[in-house]
């Protein structure tokens, strides 16, 4: 059935090879689905209406593959992209699966591991650029500790900074048109991961040699694992001009890293994410970093992928409705009204303005008594989401 919410490439939905390709292994159980080839995944994504496919180097090329094998795989993959019209907007490095990275990559105490991580990343950057990627994600899954006896956190930050500076300079030296996006996560697979939130990453970017090249890739589940408000993190990243990419999925607070279908757990917060991205005119791809329940076969995986995208499109329509709803808009106008034109005396400091503000008298009691009607506003939002109005 084709309807208003049928995903199409123009919607710019992307999935990682590792997402729809997830075979359902977990710490307690073996795979439940056969492994699809990257070419099969590309065809599946085209069938469900995605725009692009993102990848880690080793999602496509087995670690340790000989150059000839690499080239053959890339050639076949490029053919699949051409046949389906899918693009590769983002690429990244797997710096977490191989045992050599068990204590981190760029923050490992062992300089040999740090050098190997640089080598692997430079090769993976070349692969990403060859496939057309414009954004390169850094998710430091193993950059952390179980015990703080093991690593000096200050040295670790210095090492991470040194690696990013090195790789930025490499990209510039190669003449690649590539931006970096740092993805924070508080824990899993490490006990604690350094720079655990998007806010921490934003602060860190200011300390880099090429801060203009580096932004963030916030993920719904990661901020929620930390018990934080995802929309606020996305907003801060956007306001800083740093929202280079986004990982959409869902997650119950306080649980393990669930990677559920977008919108499957926290509908209202998913709504505000979509509304934010659409309202500000975010132009990047809408990437889903999630996977199907372990109960599913490949029909279930397609249902999962379609579900992520349909929910996004439905919430996008709800956001447009919210923006046009007369009752909601009346309430918003009241909330944002500028009684007594006080906003004219706010703004940048100057001595006259400070004197003006000091001289005013404010009716503190009346300010405290004023009801703000956020209950009504929220209920209207909920009813709109429930399809009642």
Q: Which of 59, 103, 219, 250 binds Mn ion (CB under 5 A)?
A: 219
CB of 261 to ligand GCO, least distance (A): 15
Q: Distance between CA 327 and CA 384 in Å, rounded?
A: 11
Q: Which of 185, 190, 233, 291 binds ligand GCO (CB under 6 A)?
A: 185
Instruction: List all residues 6 or more positions away from 355 whose beta carbon is below 8 Å from its beta carbon.
Output: none
The reply on whether position 247 binds Mn ion by CB under 5 A is yes
Rounded (10°) CA dihedral 143, 145, 146, 148: -170
Picked from ligand GCO, Mn ion, none, the partner binding residue 271 (CB below 5 to 8 A depending on kind) is none
Q: Distance between CA 119 and CA 140 in Å, rounded?
A: 16
142 neighbors 188 (Cβ within 8 angstroms)? no
The reply on whether position 126 binds ligand GCO by CB under 6 A is no
The reply on whether position 192 binds ligand GCO by CB under 6 A is no
Q: Of 309-328, which residues contact ligand GCO (CB under 6 A)?
A: none
Q: Which of 13, 77, 136, 139 binds ligand GCO (CB under 6 A)?
A: 139
Instruction: List all residues 6 or more positions away from 258 whose beta carbon is below 8 Å from its beta carbon.
Output: 221, 249, 250, 251, 252, 265
CA 285 vs CA 137, 211, 232, 282, 384: distances in Å: 13, 22, 19, 9, 26
CA 266 vs CA 126, 138, 153, 341: distances in Å: 38, 26, 34, 39
CB of 317 to Mn ion, least distance (A): 26
CB nearer to ligand GCO: pick between 272 and 288:
288
114 neighbors 108 (Cβ within 8 angstroms)? yes
CB nearer to ligand GCO: pick between 133 and 319:
133
Q: Which of 143, 183, 223, 250 binds ligand GCO (CB under 6 A)?
A: 183
**Could you write out the DSSP letters of every residue in 170-222?**
HHHHHT---EEEEE--SSSSSSEESS-SHHHHHHHHTTSS-GGGEEE--BHHH
CB nearer to Mn ion: pick between 205 and 220:
220
Picked from ligand GCO, Mn ion, none, the partner binding residue 38 (CB below 5 to 8 A depending on kind) is none
The reply on whether position 92 binds ligand GCO by CB under 6 A is yes
**Starting at the edge strand that comes first in sequence, how are the strands of the sheet with 179-183 ordered?**
214-216, 179-183, 135-139, 90-92, 52-56, 13-16, 286-288, 247-248
Q: DSSP assignment, residue 87?
A: B
Instruction: Say whether 59 is catalytic.
Output: yes
Q: Which of 57, 143, 219, 250 binds ligand GCO (CB under 6 A)?
A: 219
Instruction: Say whether 155 is catalytic.
Output: no
CB of 183 to ligand GCO, least distance (A): 5
The 229-268 site mask, x for binding ligand GCO (CB under 6 A), equals: ------------------x---------x-----------
CB nearer to ligand GCO: pick between 97 and 330:
97
The reply on whether position 289 binds ligand GCO by CB under 6 A is yes
CB nearer to ligand GCO: pick between 134 and 219:
219
End-to-end distance of the chain based on CA atoms, in angstroms? 25
Q: Distance between CA 214 and CA 230 in Å, rounded?
A: 20
Question: Which residue of the set 3, 11, 43, 56 is catalytic?
Answer: 56
The stretch near ligand GCO (CB under 6 A) out of 57-65, 137-145, 149-157, 335-343 is: 137-145
CB nearer to ligand GCO: pick between 225 and 385:
225
Q: Distance between CA 195 and CA 280 in Å, rounded?
A: 26
116, two tokens: 């190997």
**Site for ligand GCO (CB under 6 A): how many residues?**
10
Question: Which residue of the set 57, 59, 250, 259 is catalytic?
Answer: 59
Applying CB under 5 A, the residues found at the interface with Mn ion are 219, 247, 289
Applying CB under 6 A, the residues found at the interface with ligand GCO are 92, 137, 139, 141, 183, 185, 219, 247, 257, 289
Q: Catalytic positions, please?
A: 56, 59
């Amino acid at each position: 059935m084709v309807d208003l919410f049928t995903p199409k490439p123009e919607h710019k939905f992307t999935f990682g090879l590792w997402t729809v390709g997830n075979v359902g292994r977990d710490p307690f159980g073996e795979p439940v689905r056969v492994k699809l080839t990257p070419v099969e995944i590309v065809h599946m994504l085209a069938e469900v209406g995605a725009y692009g496919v993102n990848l880690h180097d080793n999602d496509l090329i087995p670690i340790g593959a000989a150059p000839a094998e690499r080239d053959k795989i890339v050639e076949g993959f490029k053919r699949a992209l051409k046949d389906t019209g899918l693009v590769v907007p983002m690429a990244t490095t797997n710096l977490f699966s191989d045992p050599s990275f068990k204590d981190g990559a760029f923050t490992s105490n062992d300089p040999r591991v740090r050098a190997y991580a640089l080598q692997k990343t430079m090769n993976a950057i070349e692969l990403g650029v060859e496939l057309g990627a414009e954004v390169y994600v850094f998710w430091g899954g193993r950059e952390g500790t179980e015990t703080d006896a093991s690593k000096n956190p200050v040295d670790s930050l210095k090492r991470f900074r040194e690696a990013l500076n090195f790789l930025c300079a490499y990209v510039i030296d190669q003449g690649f048109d590539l931006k970096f996006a740092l993805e924070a996560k508080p824990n899993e697979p490490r006990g604690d991961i350094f720079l655990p939130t998007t806010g921490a990453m934003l602060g860190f970017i200011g300390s880099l040699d090429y801060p203009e090249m580096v932004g963030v890739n916030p993920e719904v589940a990661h901020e929620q694992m930390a018990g934080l408000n995802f929309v606020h993190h996305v907003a801060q990243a956007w306001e800083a001009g740093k929202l280079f990419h986004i990982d959409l999925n869902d997650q119950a607070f306080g649980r393990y890293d669930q990677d559920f279908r977008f919108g499957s757990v926290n509908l209202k917060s998913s709504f505000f994410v979509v509304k934010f991205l659409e309202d500000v005119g975010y132009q990047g791809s809408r990437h889903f970093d999630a996977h199907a329940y372990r109960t599913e076969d490949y029909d279930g995986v397609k249902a999962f992928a379609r579900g992520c995208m349909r929910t996004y499109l439905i919430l996008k329509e709800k956001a447009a409705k919210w923006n046009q709803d007369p009752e909601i808009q009346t309430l918003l106008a009241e909330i944002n009204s500028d009684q007594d034109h006080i906003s004219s005396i706010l703004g940048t400091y100057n001595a006259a303005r400070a004197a003006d503000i000091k001289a005013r008298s404010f009716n503190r009691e009346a300010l405290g008594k004023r009801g703000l009607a956020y209950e009504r506003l929220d209920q209207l939002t909920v009813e709109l989401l429930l399809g009642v109005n």
